[in-house]
Amino acid sequence: MDSEKIKYLQENYNLPSYRCQQLKEAFFHKHISEYTNITTFPKELRGRLQEEVPVLTTSLYKIYASQEKNAYKALLQLKDKRLVETVLLNPKPGLWSCCISSQVGCVLGCTFCATGTMGLARNLSSEEITDQVLFWQFFIKEEKIPARLSNVVYMGMGEPFHNKKEVFKSLRELMNPETFHLGARHLSVSTSGLVPAIYEFTEQFPQVNLAISLHAPNNELRVKLMPINKPYPLEKLMAAIEHYIEATNRKVFIEYIMLKEENDSLVLADQLADLLKKVSKSHLLHVNLIVYNQTDSEHIETPKEKARKFKNRLQEKGLSATIRKNLGRDIDGACGQLALKEPGRTTYFQSTNFVEVI
Ligand code: SAH
Ligand code: SF4
């Protein structure tokens, strides 16, 4: 459900505009998930709409909750039966954020990423993207979780800028005061570095947060981990980051997965610091060191102590850096783990301590 679908309903069911208002109120404010529960609506119409125009483009296939109930992962089934994953996270009290997918799979093939091993099945439409947010809003209401969804990050399956048109449309929808009405500063897009799209994003969404998956401080290493570095090497990527900061005066989040004995030495920490310090206003860069979530690749997670030393070295060099808290690992719901690990679909990566709630 989005503003376009409301328009469709208006035109095809001859709804007066106050009826459209009631629908928006029901779905986007009260988070009522079914027409049949919209009591302000005539009964006959509720039944017809329920039959003919489903509220969500997705249906729930499976949902998992982490032990501490601070992370949930849902597998949603699309109309063509393909599955997509989305995650709801509660990183600190009162803050709920969801991580949404922009594609089924991804073509960019980063070696550490489970989604990358699937290849790309297809792009999601803008409505399929925003429906993931609406799905979680309905879920929070139904589960009586006493909180509001405040943040949305495009860090699920897929490369958002490889599906630029629909992702940009979905960002507009999430900010639309008539529907989702989320503030731009509560939205974040993570990219592996599709340089031309970063410039367009800067132009069109200067208030939306930008995260760059860097993962290596030199081209030689980066190209091994991320094939996208070939067409868009670090020189071009860093120039796009510099331009974003110049144009927006806003922070950029630099994502860096810690991979044991690959990119985690202090020599590379120095190289990373040098690379980032070259950016003017480098105080606006924040390095998120990410604990590698084991997938069935050859990479291994950096030991905690070593990751801490790496972080300290960056801080000594004057950079802002933290090690990112990783929620949802026990349900394979953390970054890079989203690969539809369903038996019989792709390799099932066994998680021992999830709780299946539905
Ligand atoms: N395609 C986009 C967004 C989706 S991936 C991107 O690459 O930025 C979201 C984040 O998860 C990225 O920073 C990505 O590098 C990271 N990631 C991928 N695989 C991971 C893994 N196995 N462990 C931890 N983070 C991973
Ligand atoms: Fe695609 Fe991002 Fe995974 Fe790379 S890390 S394969 S760009 S989803």
Mutate to test the pocket of ligand 2, among 110, 164, 237 (most ligand atoms within 8 A of CB): 110
Residue 20 annotated to the active site: no
Domain-located, residue 139: yes
Which residues form the domain of 192?
57-351
Q: How many domains does the chain have?
A: 2
At 201 the pLDDT is 98
Q: DSSP per residue over 84-98, as a string?
A: EEEEEEEEETTEEEE
Q: Which pLDDT does position 116 carry in this prediction?
A: 82
Residue range 87-92: mean pLDDT, rounded? 88
**Judgement on whether residues 246 and 167 belong to the same structural domain of the protein:** yes
CATH number, domain containing residue 183 = 3.20.20.70
The pTM assigned to this predicted structure is: 0.93
- At 353 the pLDDT is 32
Q: What is the mean pLDDT of residues 260-284?
A: 97
Q: Ligand 2: distance of its center to the CA of 313 in Å?
A: 27
Confidence (pLDDT) at 345? 40
Q: Are residues 21 and 157 in the same domain?
A: no
Q: Are residues 39 and 74 in the same domain?
A: no
Q: Are 113 and 257 in contact (CB under 8 A)?
A: no
Query: How far apart are alpha carbons 329 and 141 in whole angstroms?
Result: 24
Q: Which residues contact 92 (CB under 8 A, 6 or more apart)?
A: none
Instruction: Please identify, among 38, 55, 72, the residue that sits at the C-terminal boundary of a domain.
Output: 55
Residue 358 covered by a domain: no
Average pLDDT on 198-222 reads 98
Q: Are residues 115 and 193 in the same domain?
A: yes
Model pLDDT, residue 102:
97
* pLDDT confidence of residue 209: 97
Atom number in ligand 1 closest to CA 162: 1
pLDDT computed for residue 112 by the predictor? 92
In a domain, 356, yes or no: no
- Is 357 contained in some domain? no
Q: What is the arithmetic mean of pLDDT over 223-228?
A: 97
Smallest CA separation from ligand 1 atom 9, residue: 155
Length of the chain: 358
Q: What is the pLDDT of residue 117?
A: 82
Q: Which atom of ligand 2 is nearest to the CA of 157?
A: 8
Q: Does residue 253 have a pLDDT over 90? A: yes
Of the residues 17, 32, 55, the one at which a domain ends: 55
The answer to whether residues 61 and 51 belong to one domain is no
| Residue 92 included in any domain | yes
> What integer is the mean pLDDT of 75-91?
91
Q: How far is CA 151 from CA 91, 137, 185, in A?
A: 11, 11, 9
217 and 243 part of one domain: yes
**How would residue 348 be classed by pLDDT, with cut points 50, 70 and 90?**
very low
- Do 73 and 153 sit in the same domain of this protein? yes
User: pLDDT digit string (tens) for 286-345?
Assistant: 999 998 988 888 999 999 999 999 999 999 999 999 998 666 666 555 555 555 555 434
- Report the separation in Å between the CA atom of 293 and the middle of ligand 1, taken as the mean of its atom positions: 10
Confidence of residue 69 (pLDDT cuts 50, 70, 90): confident
CATH of the domain at 28: 1.10.150
Are residues 103 and 28 both part of a single domain?
no
Q: How far apart are CA 269 and CA 356, in angstroms?
A: 40
Residues 50 and 186 placed together within one structural domain of the fold: no
Residue 25 Cα to ligand 1 midpoint, Å, equals 35
Q: What is the pLDDT of residue 327?
A: 66
Catalytic residue among 128, 242, 335, 342: 335
Instruction: Output the pLDDT for position 335.
Output: 53
**What contacts 137, CB < 8 A, 6 or more positions away?**
31, 149
DSSP 228-292: GGTTS-HHHHHHHHHHHHHHH---EEEEEEEBTTTT-SHHHHHHHHHHHHTSTTGGGEEEEEEEP
pLDDT reported for residue 347: 29
pLDDT in tens, 139-153: 999 988 888 899 999
Residue 287 near residue 319 (C-beta atoms within 8 A) = yes
Residues 22, 2, single domain; the answer is yes
What is the whole-number distance in angstroms between the Cα of residue 192 and the centre of ligand 2?
Answer: 7
Q: 55, 70, 93: which is the final residue of a domain?
A: 55
Same domain, residue pair 124 and 230: yes
Catalytic residue flag (residue 335): yes
Q: Is residue 226 part of a domain?
A: yes
Q: Identify residue 170 by its one-letter amino acid code.
A: S
Identify whether 319 is part of a domain: yes
* pLDDT tens sequence across 91-126: 888 889 999 999 999 999 999 998 888 889 999 999
Tell me, yes or no, whether 336 lies in a domain: yes
Q: What is the mean pLDDT of the chain?
A: 90
Q: Do 72 and 35 fall into the same domain?
A: no
> What percent of the chain has a predicted confidence (pLDDT) above 70?
91
